[in-house]
Amino acid sequence: MHERRVIEIHRHHHHHHHHRRKGTWKKVLLVIGVVILALCAVTVVAWRVMDTMGARTLHNNASSYAPDLSQVKTSEGASSETASAEATAQPENWQAGWVRYNGKVYEYNSNIMTFLIMGIDKDGTVSAGSSGVDGGQADGQFLLVLNPDTKKMQVIAINRNTMTDVDVYDEDGSFVGTYNLQICLAHGYGDGMQLSCERAEKSVSGLFYDLPINGYISLNMGGVAGLVDAVGVVTVPRIKYENEKLVYGDDQTLNGEQAYSYIRTRGEDYDSASYRLEKQKEFLRAFIASVKARVVKDPTVALSLLNVASRYIVTDVDTNEITYLAGKIGSYYFDSNIYSLKGTTTPAEDGTTGHEEFVYDEDDLYDLMIKIFYKEVEQ
């Protein structure tokens, strides 16, 4: 009798203990669930906040308010037409910055965001130069243009020898003057860091008639291999340069190291910069397509790529802005037809600088400006 009661008590006690443990687990699971949900909410909110902050600051960062096409001196008579038309038959509501082009009126599309991407002729990681003139030349310069109205992502390649206004500084960093020089030199007059990038950005913006540029990313060429390996591989055509003509061969798949040498080598032939620019365009086309495909699946890829190459990169685009752009880019159509300016290359011995000079066709640049950066005024 006595024994049985002990057993019953014992059994009862055991049951009670089990019940309490189950209840505790429920509570723990509930707490974990709430914490996970809270973290998700915080992440979403943080992403949203970064997103909106990114959008705002990118537009405020722009290097100018709008391009100024009245600087254009073209055979089409763009600037003279604008000036004389304003004086005579301009409609009542004519606004500053509007341009007449092929009988229609256009205005700059201020929703557009433009970024300057630079490849710098240095293998090592980024470090400040000891003198004011060893920032390194910008061997690759591209404008990445995002148009939220058309949902298009477009790229304009800039020949490194394009002749334009470049601010020249001496070794102590004192301003010497502005000269008509190869655009790749602007980055060299600086510390290889922010200062160099800002000077390069100024020259590029000036080349495109004071185009607003919302941010820059410069990458020492040595960082290319790591970036490509992080994305996977890139597929590009073989390109040879024969008898002053580009000859395209079969496609080839390159890893990081191979991609690096693909975009670096240019040979010693006349106008080899144009040859290398074509290879860089092919590389960028393949690389952007790969990154875009990855970012569509996971927008955070953009940040991890920046992280991979961070020691080789100088940029004024912050994490909020990258977050915002990564969220956008997935829905954009990448126009794989990379634009570049038409023009002619003057051999080194015929120019004023002792190096090859690419003289762009101003009519062609004007057409490109209207096509990419302007929209028709609804009247």
Q: Do residues 345 and 365 touch, judged by C-beta distance below 8 A?
A: no
For the chain, the average pLDDT equals: 84
What b/e readout covers 238-268, taking b as 16+ CB neighbours within 10 angstroms?
Answer: ebebeeeeeeeeeeeebebeebbebbbebee
pLDDT at 324 over 80: yes
pLDDT of residue 372: 96
CATH code of the domain occupying 112-366 = 3.40.630.190
**pLDDT tens digits, residue range 140-181?**
899 999 999 999 999 999 999 999 999 999 888 899 999 999
Q: Which of 68-82, 228-242, 359-373 has the lowest mean pLDDT?
A: 68-82
pLDDT of residue 252: 94
Q: Do residues 208 and 116 touch, judged by C-beta distance below 8 A?
A: no
pLDDT at 115 over 70: yes
Q: Which of 11-25, 162-176, 262-276, 317-331 has the lowest mean pLDDT?
A: 11-25
**pLDDT tens digits, residue range 47-103?**
666 666 677 787 777 877 889 988 887 555 444 444 444 444 566 788 888 999 998
Segment 263-284 shows an average pLDDT of 80
pLDDT of residue 61: 79
Token pair for residue 142?
């591209």
pLDDT band at 116 (very low <50, low <70, confident <90, very high): very high
| Cross-strand partners of 266 | none
pLDDT at 368 over 80: yes
pLDDT band at 7 (very low <50, low <70, confident <90, very high): very low
User: Left (φ > 0), alpha (ψ -120 to 50) or beta: where does 77 sit?
Assistant: left
**Which H helix or E strand runs over 176?**
strand 175-182
Q: In terms of pLDDT, which residue wins out, 58 or 11?
A: 58
pLDDT of residue 123: 84
pLDDT of residue 85: 47
Q: Which of 128-137, 204-213, 229-238 has the lowest mean pLDDT?
A: 128-137
Q: In terms of pLDDT, which residue wins out, 130 or 137?
A: 137
Task: For the chain, state the CA radius of gyration.
Answer: 28
Q: Which amino acid is at 81?
A: E
Q: How far apart are CA 273 and CA 279, in angstroms?
A: 10
pLDDT of residue 145: 95
CA atoms within 13 A on the CB side of 152: 11
pLDDT of residue 343: 94
pLDDT of residue 151: 93
pLDDT band at 237 (very low <50, low <70, confident <90, very high): very high
Q: Could you tell me which of 180, 214, 186 has the C-alpha nearest to residue 200?
A: 186
Where along the chain do its domains lie? Answer: 1-61, 112-366
